[in-house]
Amino acid sequence: MARSFKGVQALRGVTFELGQHEVVGLIGPNGAGKTTLINLMTGFDLPTSGTIELGGQDVTRWRPARRAKAGLARTFQHGHLFGGLSVRENIELGALGVGARSGEARRRADDLLDALELRAHADVRARLLPHGEQRKVGVGRALASRPSYVLMDEPAAGLAESDIEPFAQVIRSVRDGFGAGVLIVDHNIALMMEVSDRIEVLDQGRTLARGTPEEIRQNIDVAAAYLGSSGVTGASAGA
Ligand SMILES: Nc1ncnc2c1ncn2[C@@H]1O[C@H](COP(=O)(O)OP(=O)(O)O)[C@@H](O)[C@H]1O
Ligand SMILES: [Mg+2]
């Protein structure tokens, strides 16, 4: 698929597939097109050309809410929480938004408050949390919809180093427990290498490389050796 914005080709000829039961890491420097890809997959933006399929169905013209009800959830790189609502209420909305009853929404939020180590903030207004914690709330809201697929846009940005391992555990449990497919975009290369079953590298709207974390690591090393600070290295240094 492709997407251009007035002369800027944000994505050109990219094909991307996410299966259930897998974690796919998407890396690339700022401006590579990562958020655009998530926007197209979730219906927050329309491709200039190409189609989006969900479970074998062409959903290119479906609005985001319809895709969400069909099992596709996302988190946002910036904001999108209800700042005046509590952390718990924000997470419950993820369940209510896809038609869960209030009791069920409360149970799911309870589980996620523990899994994401947000319990201490449950009754705090979302806008009062540090940005890293806000992103975790966004992850909680996405997971509360019990998605078949969840696309996470820089969910670990701003997290303390000590929060990274528990967060990696949450991602693995989304795959292994819910059996969902996870697309994760993040600049924390150590996290990406650890949680991803496979990794795709995007650069200037094109797929530059795809492979196992080990293959990509070697690729990055090669790029670092031969290209200095350009190319893929920009991704690894882009945090
Ligand atoms: N709504 C928009 N209008 C104009 N240009 C955009 C818009 N969204 C993204 N772009 C451009 O598309 C390119 C890819 O952006 P983006 O997908 O946000 O990259 P990434 O998430 O990898 O940092 C960038 O050059 C960006 O400036
Ligand atoms: Mg982005």
* Residue 214 confidence (pLDDT) above 50: yes
CB 42, CB 72: distance < 8 Å: yes
* Residue 107 confidence (pLDDT) above 90: yes
User: Vertex 69, ends 156 and 50: CA angle to 5°?
Assistant: 80
Q: What percent of the chain has pLDDT over 70?
A: 94
Ligand closest to CA 78: 2
| pLDDT classification of 125: cutoffs 50, 70, 90 | very high
Average pLDDT of the chain is 92
pLDDT average, residue stretch 16-29 = 96
Bridge partners for 185 per DSSP: 26, 153
pLDDT at residue number 178: 85
Q: Distance from the CA of 179 to the center of ligand 2, in angstroms?
A: 26
If one residue of 9, 35, 232 were mutated to test the ligand 1 pocket, choosing by the most ligand atoms within 8 A of its CB, it would be: 35
pLDDT at residue number 228: 53
Q: Which residues line ligand 1 (CB under 6 A)?
A: 5, 8, 10, 28, 30-36
Q: Distance from the CA of 31 to the center of ligand 1, in angstroms?
A: 6
Ligand closest to CA 37: 1
* Residue 133 confidence (pLDDT) above 60: yes
Q: 1-66+180-239: which CATH topology?
A: Rossmann fold (3.40.50)
The residue extents of the domains of the chain are 1-66+180-239
Radius of gyration of the chain, Cα coordinates, nearest whole angstrom: 17
CB 93, CB 76: distance < 8 Å: no
